[in-house]
Amino acid sequence: MTTTFQGFRRPSGAVGVRNHVLVLPSVMCANHVVDRIGRAVPEVVTVNHPIGCSQVGADFEQTKRTMAGFAANGNVAAVLVVGLGCESNESKALAHEIATRGQRVEVIGIQETGNTSETIARGIEIARQLVREVSAYERTTCALSELILGTECGGSDGFSGITANPALGHAADRLVGAGGTVILAEVPELVGAEHLLAQRATAPVAAKLFELIERVEARARMMHVDMRYGNPTQGNIAGGITTIEEKSLGAAYKGGSTPLREVVEYAERPSERGLVVMDTPGHDIEQMTGMVAGGAQVVVFTTGRGTPTGSPIAPVVKVATNSAMFERMRENMDVDAGTIVTGTRTLEQVGDEIFEWIVEAANGRETAAEVLGFHDFAINRIGPSF
């Protein structure tokens, strides 16, 4: 039985499965400089986003928590923060927060450096230096109990709740059995299934879960809308899903069958091991970013319609719910769970393949989304820009 993998151990104590240098803009005004650094130093990963200024309150706190958590993920060996200078998400404060989490970090500001070209040149210099520095890291034996797995379903169809999600649940149970942590998220897609999860939780954890579900339904009431067509989407409906309850009952299988230990906020790192619910929207990329910012080093993503997304810093294992889509989008998929209904493999066999993929991805095997170069990134907003 597998209990270990070959990962990277950071001075902070964090454990990673990749050895990235991340170049992160503290504000959208630095996106261009970040892009140019990434073009000149292809060994780094870069992200872009449209935020980091004119933000206040809980929304601002969530943005800062997400950026710092993402940058401090064990998959990142070193970070270069690029700021403008006058932004609300002050780059030096962000770098300080990243450093507080034990991460190696450098920071440059465009207004302080003077001129775009000079900042790009300085950024390239620092990025090259960080790449050299992190090449000294070697993989070492780490316990599976140090893994946090993010689970996600996107582009769901009528097979999601029959094949890929229960198979992922089997893999999730195996990881929890090995002492690891599994994040179940996309709370709008737990509406109608929350009572089943609550049965596996202590009263305070169940109460927090019900509170998150109520936030979703309160938003629908405030907007006087039926969630349907926003979620489930037109594509979900074309795939056979009729209501949010039906989608949720299928989605909840991803978390497996172990007790629900904790409910955390968006991008908050779990303090418990085992199964954890994170408050994220169903928006695939905001969810993925939130889970990775909460410490997930590996993500498994099930899809029926065929969702190609991938994280800039974490391997995302793609599981097709049906064989027809698996064949049509072979390049984007890693596992075919459609074989469960064609009768060629059992749910447990596919679940074991997913578990093995998690371990192999942790060991360094590249997923389809990594080979294709996806680096999608989006932070969930909970308030307006001012």
Partner 1 sequence: MPLSLDGAALRLKDDDDVAVALRPLDPGVPVRFPDAEIVPSVAIPTGHKIALRAVAAGALVHKYGQPIGRASAPIVPGDHVHVHNVDGVRGRGDLAEATT
Residue span 53-92 as binding mask against partner 1, x where in contact by CB under 8 A, dash where not? ----------------------------------------
β pairing state of 181-184 and 148-154: parallel
Residue 237 binds partner 1 (CB under 8 A): yes
Number of residues that bind partner 1 (CB under 8 A): 38
Piece of the chain touching partner 1 by CB under 8 A; list 82-90, 99-107, 154-162, 266-274: 154-162
Residue span 100-139 as binding mask against partner 1, x where in contact by CB under 8 A, dash where not? ----------------------------------------
Cα separation, 305 vs 324, whole angstroms: 10
**Phi, psi (rounded to 5 degrees) for 4:** -135, 165
Cα separation, 292 vs 237, whole angstroms: 29
Residue 144 binds partner 1 (CB under 8 A): no
Piece of the chain touching partner 1 by CB under 8 A; list 26-34, 187-195, 204-212, 349-357: 187-195
Element (H, E) at 109: strand 105-109
Residue 283 binds partner 1 (CB under 8 A): no
Residue 250 binds partner 1 (CB under 8 A): yes
**Phi, psi (rounded to 5 degrees) for 260:** -80, 115
Piece of the chain touching partner 1 by CB under 8 A; list 103-111, 117-125, 168-176, 244-252: 244-252
Residue 196 binds partner 1 (CB under 8 A): yes
> Residue 151: which of 301, 2, 366, 305 has the closest Cα?
301
Cα separation, 339 vs 320, whole angstroms: 10
Residue 327 binds partner 1 (CB under 8 A): no
CB of 357 to partner 1, least distance (A): 24
E strand segments, 232-365:
260-264, 274-278, 298-303, 316-320, 335-336
**Phi, psi (rounded to 5 degrees) for 326:** -55, -45
Q: In the complex with partner 1, which residue's Cβ is closer, 171 or 251? A: 251
| DSSP annotation of 103 | -
> Residue 33: which of 118, 157, 141, 133 has the closest Cα?
118
| Sole binder of partner 1 in the list 240, 283, 348, 382 (CB under 8 A) | 240
Residue span 288-307 as binding mask against partner 1, x where in contact by CB under 8 A, dash where not? ----------------x---
Work out the end-to-end distance of the chain between its first and last CA atoms, rounded to an integer number of angstroms: 54
> Residue 27: which of 3, 62, 63 has the closest Cα?
63
Buried b (16+ CB within 10 A) or exposed e, 314-328: bbbbbbbbbbebbee
CB of 221 to partner 1, least distance (A): 4
Amino acid present at 80 = L
Q: In the complex with partner 1, which residue's Cβ is closer, 132 or 219? A: 219
Piece of the chain touching partner 1 by CB under 8 A; list 67-75, 112-120, 137-145, 188-196: 188-196
| Sole binder of partner 1 in the list 154, 155, 188, 315 (CB under 8 A) | 188
Cα separation, 235 vs 241, whole angstroms: 9
CB of 340 to partner 1, least distance (A): 10
Residue 244 binds partner 1 (CB under 8 A): yes
Q: Are 114 and 54 in contact (CB under 8 A)?
A: no
| Sole binder of partner 1 in the list 17, 33, 191, 209 (CB under 8 A) | 191
Which residues form the interface with partner 1 (CB under 8 A)?
A: 157-159, 161-162, 188, 191-193, 196, 216-217, 219-228, 231, 237, 239-240, 242-246, 249-250, 304, 322, 324, 341, 343
